[in-house]
Every structure is written in C-alpha cells, then in structure tokens.
Amino acid sequence: MSQADEGGRAPLTHTREVTIDALMEHFANDVMNGNATTADFRVEMERASGQDLAGFFDQWLYQGGNPSLQGWWDYDPSARALRIELNQVHEVGPTFELPLQIGLHRDGSDLPDVLEEVLVDARFHRFVIPVDFEPTHVTLYPNVQLLFQRDFGPR
C-alpha cells in the first residue's frame, strides 16, 4: 500500500498529536465534491484521535448552549498556593465537561509562567494550585480560543 494517495497526500497516522487543522483538512479532502454527515465527521475524528468523542459531540453540538464561567482567584502567601473558584452559570445547555487550562502570570508577562490543567465537570468548583510566586494575573485558556463567556478576576 502506498504512503500517499493519487493526489499526493500522505494519510494521517493514528496519533493523538495530529492537530485539529490537519484533521479538518484531511476530512475536507476526503469528501471534496461529495457529501458527508455529522456522523461521518465524528467517525473520522474518532479514528484519527483514537478517542470516543460521543460526549464531546453531545455537549458541543447536539445539546446547544455555550459555557459561561464565573469566578475569582486569590493567592495565599502562607500556603504558597493559588485558590480558584469557578462556577458554570449558563442557563442554556448542559453542565459542560471542560479540561480547563489555567495560566499563572508574574510581572505582567503575556505568556504564562505556569500552566495548569484542571477538569471542570460540575456547576461549582474550587481548586488549590501550589505555586511559589504571587501571580500578577491569572488567565483561563491562555493559548486557546474557545467559545465561552467568562467573568473571572482577582477576589
């Protein structure tokens, strides 16, 4: 079997490191000038990622709504820890399951000095993140554009 099809495109390998842009381009090339359903798209994304994406498609496509997060953060110098409270306050749609990246910044830096990932999977969450410096600001999803609303800042 050839490593490229007649159009010269190499097939995607079964790796979790493939970017969403590469997956989308591969899918678009496969169905060019044809028809595909959402189910076809899901099957292709599951095949390429090696993951069951039923929950993802259910919460982002079929149930409607967008997450809206509200919360605060503060630094406890005696515990050398950042405390975060986050609430899902949207009125439409499910309680989302979000792997949330939190960026901790010092000295006004644009890029986070520390990047933590937590799972937001309920309406109410409190997190404690050990950190040896007092952040000047804290960002949600500092490296990702995501469709969600946020009201989040220092306490």
Work out the widest C-alpha separation in the chain, in whole angstroms. 64
pTM of the model: 0.72
The reply to whether 26 and 73 lie within a common domain is no
Q: Cα angle vertex 113, ends 111, 119, to 5°?
A: 95
Between CA 136 and CA 128 the distance in angstroms is 17
Read off the pLDDT of residues 79-95 as tens digits, 9 standing for 90 and up.
999 999 999 999 888 89
Q: Write phi, then psi, for 35 (nearest 5 degrees).
A: -120, 150
Read off the pLDDT of residues 38-49 as tens digits, 9 standing for 90 and up.
899 899 888 888
Residue 126 belongs to a domain with what CATH number?
A: 2.60.40.1840
CA distances from 28 to 35, 41, 55, 58, 149 (A): 10, 10, 23, 22, 30
Range of the domain at 28: 1-52
3-state SS, residue 131: coil
Counting the structural domains of the chain, the total is 2
The reply to whether 73 and 147 lie within a common domain is yes
Does 21 score more than 90 pLDDT? no
In a domain, 19, yes or no: yes
The reply to whether 90 and 138 lie within a common domain is yes
In a domain, 33, yes or no: yes
